[in-house]
Structure 1
Amino acid sequence: MEMDNPYRAPEASLVESSEATRARSFFVTSLGKMAVLYVLTLGLYNLYWMYRHWSIQQPQMQEKIYPAMRSIFFIFFIHSLARRVRAALSETSRRAWSGGEDATWAVVLLIASNVLDRFSSHIPVLSQYSLPLLLLGLAPLIPLANIQRRANEAAGDPLGESNAKMTRYNVPFLIAGGLLWCLILIGIAGEFAGVA
């Protein structure tokens, strides 16, 4: 019979489990929270979203990366993020989702939105506050939400429940986004009043 030795160091596993490592491998957020922040900030949330994913990926990569630069140059790094998410998924999920299509759609929609925004002053139908231009600017949310859903799955939190509630850090963005939308709606109302 083995006696308990009060002077013996406690035994603990010094190697982290693969589940614990995987749980911290991607930024987890609920799709509802992501959608609210994306819409309220008119898509600027994608900069923070990309930054958070790459800052979490950084310790797992051999080469030194700059998450802020990968966030700013979003269109050049979204495909590699989607590939990393896909590689972390189970075999069944990998067969069901390639990731490349969502990344490509995000890039195409983002570029199309920016190009049309530049020409909005030359095309009367596409004024700065027109509904088609606003919807196109928000359209990248759809493929980005697909990537986020798979990132949540790969991190072991499919619904993003660990980051589903708005926090005090989100409040300034919610207020600023709400004010921005108020200004946009005032601009749209002013355009309609000018037409009538």
Structure 2
Amino acid sequence: MTPIQTSSKIEPQKMMSLKKFIFLSIITFSMYDIWWMFKAWRFFQQKDRVKIMPALRAVFAIFFLYPLLKKIQNFASEEGETPNYSPVLLFLGYIIFSMLYKLPDPFWFISLSSIIFLIQPFQALNAAKRNAAQVEVIEQKNFNKPQIVLIIIFSIVWALILLGLFLTE
């Protein structure tokens, strides 16, 4: 990673509750996890002033999730938090559980529990951002408009999937 030679500061960080994060992850079939990874990489891009591509790192999480979990752990430690998790175990758990989507109906639902492997890093990153002097934190009390659109669209998808599960022979 090469340093960026700009004086851009870190954009204000919107914080959501753990319950909202888990809900968005489950309702979007873990697609929201990719958005969270993108936002985390973007935060570190701005904080460390490095030239990286946060979107590609989020999409190719199989290669970049472990470094992200490690980076979050190091940042949290720097900011006075004591994240007590193993990036290796969380990475392996997340990847393995994510691949369970290949199971037959209805067992593929188990793959949605992959979110449990992001809970500790999510909490550590949020706590570290709150402690960091250079980070402006905005607490998100309600879902924003894009999140509401996701909830509506994926609620329809969930309804169709559940109907399909219960109405098939």
Q: Name the TM-score class by shorter chain.
A: 0.7 to 0.9
Structure 1 residue 79: deviation in Å? 1.0
* 1:162 matched residue in structure 2: 139
| 8 Å Cα contact 1:82/1:99 also seen in 2 | yes
* 1:12 matched residue in structure 2: none
> Relative to 1, partners in 2 of residues 1:52 and 1:27: Cα closer, same or farther, differing over 3 Å?
farther
* 1:3 matched residue in structure 2: none
Q: One-letter code of the match for 1:147?
A: P
Tell me how many residue pairs correspond in the alignment: 154
**1:29-48, aligned counterparts within 5 Å?**
29-48=16-35
| 1:68 matched to 2:55 | yes
Structure 1 residue 164: deviation in Å? 4.2
**1:1-196, aligned counterparts within 5 Å?**
28-61=15-48, 63-90=50-77, 93-94=82-83, 96-110=84-98, 112-114=99-101, 117=102, 120=103, 126-127=104-105, 130=106, 132-134=107-109, 136-156=110-130, 162-191=139-168, 194=169
Identity %: 21
Where do 5+ consecutive residues of structure 1 fail to align? 1-19, 121-125
After superposition, the CA RMSD in angstroms is 2.6
| 8 Å Cα contact 1:28/1:148 also seen in 2 | no
| 8 Å Cα contact 1:28/1:163 also seen in 2 | yes
In structure 1, how many angstroms separate the alpha carbons of the residues matched to 2:28 and 2:155?
A: 8
In structure 2, how many angstroms separate the alpha carbons of the residues matched to 1:107 and 1:163?
A: 29
TM-score, normalised with respect to structure 1: 0.69
TM-score, normalised with respect to structure 2: 0.79
In structure 2, how many angstroms separate the alpha carbons of the residues matched to 1:39 and 1:161?
A: 24
In structure 2, how many angstroms separate the alpha carbons of the residues matched to 1:147 and 1:174?
A: 24
Larger Rg over CA atoms: 1
Where do 5+ consecutive residues of structure 2 fail to align? 1-8, 132-136
